[in-house]
Amino acid sequence: EISLEIINQNFILNLPSEIQNILSQIKAVSKLLNEKVYLVGGIVRDLILNLPNEDIDIVVENDANNFAKNLSEFLPTAKIRIHDQFKTATIFLENGLSIDIATLRSEYYEYPTALPIVTQGTIKDDLFRRDFTINALAIDISHNNFGKLLDFFKGYNDIKNKNIKIIHNISFIDDPTRIIRACRFASRYNFTIENETHDLILDAIEMGILERLSWNRLKNEFQYILEDKNPSKGILLLNKYNLLKLFHDNIILDKSLLKKLNLANKFKNIFAIKLEYWIVFLLVLTSQLNSKELEIIFLKFGFSKNFINKHKFGIEKRKILLEELNSKNKNSEIYSLLKNIPEEVLILLILESTRENKVKIKSYLFNLKGKVAIIKGRDLLELGLESGPHLKEYIEKSFLIQLDQINPSKDSILKELNLIC
């Protein structure tokens, strides 16, 4: 028998005031409609962990659509989208927050990896169908019970003890993507996959259950791992379960790959601001593959032709690029060599290069690449040059000169171009 533990600490007070305000409105609608409402999913887990999470996921007992319509009247600037098919709704607020509303449900699977059959259920059913105990907590936000944490499956303890634990024994059979999710949550929070859950993962893998998953679902989960806080740890866990082969047969997590992954993790905070850093991890993970294999993976991830060509070019040529870079010392030379190489590829190059070349690539990324040209076409036209390809050449030349001068100015550049004396 599953026991319900109610923890009376008011976690809601730890939420940002914007979200607390929304929850008060939800409470008011709960009173108006006499509906029971619960806050569920990742936000509850992260509240207990004291980590930020702005995904407001709520479930109501009877009718999500009706609840959403009423709630949106309390939130005048909100936009509402009803998904009739799934009996769910989303409300989008002006401040960028959104609220996902579902009706409590019970789910069962007719056969492994199928989509679940859904029926109406209790809050306990709704939490029981979820992946891990840490994700199966709810906070009652109904008008008459506001703020109570409901813990049917000892999720609170598992959060405190840093355990990833499934709720029932066929969880991984119902939904094999949970195997990859286990690796993701374990790596994100530095939690341990608890013994029984670990054994059930091994059983499910032995049954070949993951081979039945569509590439699309696998891909999404892989991408989530690569996008998560600590991808190298997630990748190590996947490797421990021998799952990198689902990604590609020829990926071997040897010392050198491991070193690159760890370095990529280390560099994340420096570079992640400007680009989709998960692609760097994808490039590192596939750095042992040949260009045909790489192209197949890129296609499977749905990248555009243009993206594939640019990235593949850089990756294929990276040995030669690094060799050439050895002899380039002037800013203009470094710039010209690297300017067409995508940033993610340049970071891969940093991970694979000598100290001298690392410095050069970093200088390109942080300094040269973002420089604004001092000489514009207009300046050259004023000096009497005619527009056309010739002018373009002059503009490029001026920029390269600018990069090599210590204190470049309009005059100093034009002088070097012999356009003024």
Interacting residues toward ligand CTP by CB under 6 A = 41-42, 55, 130-131, 135, 175, 177-178, 181
Alpha-carbon distance of 38 to 246, in angstroms, equals: 37
Q: How far is the CB of 187 from ligand CTP (least distance, A)?
A: 12
Q: How far is the CB of 279 from ligand CTP (least distance, A)?
A: 19
| Beta carbon nearer to ligand CTP, 178 or 233 | 178
| Beta carbon nearer to ligand CTP, 217 or 397 | 217
Alpha-carbon distance of 135 to 363, in angstroms, equals: 44
Alpha-carbon distance of 39 to 104, in angstroms, equals: 11
| Beta carbon nearer to ligand CTP, 177 or 357 | 177
| Cα end-to-end distance, the chain, whole Å | 92
Of all residues in the shown chain, the one whose CB is closest to ligand CTP is 42
Instruction: Point out which residues pair with 148 in neighbouring strands.
Output: 140
Q: How far is the CB of 44 from ligand CTP (least distance, A)?
A: 8
| Beta carbon nearer to ligand CTP, 48 or 341 | 48
| Beta carbon nearer to ligand CTP, 154 or 181 | 181
Q: How far is the CB of 213 from ligand CTP (least distance, A)?
A: 11
Instruction: Give per-residue burial for 158-194: e unless 16+ CB within 10 Å, then b.
Output: bbeeebbbbbeeebbbbbbbbbbbbbbbbbbbebebb
| Beta carbon nearer to ligand CTP, 177 or 265 | 177
Q: How far is the CB of 181 from ligand CTP (least distance, A)?
A: 6
Q: How far is the CB of 170 from ligand CTP (least distance, A)?
A: 13
Q: Contacts by 155-161 with C-beta closer than 8 Å and gap 24+?
A: 155/45, 156/5, 156/7, 156/48, 158/132, 158/133, 158/134, 158/194, 159/45, 159/48, 159/49, 159/134
Alpha-carbon distance of 43 to 31, in angstroms, equals: 23
Q: How far is the CB of 257 from ligand CTP (least distance, A)?
A: 25
DSSP 8-state secondary structure symbol assigned to residue 212 = G
| Beta carbon nearer to ligand CTP, 185 or 298 | 185
Burial (CB < 10 A; 0-12, 13-18, 19+), residue 274, is exposed
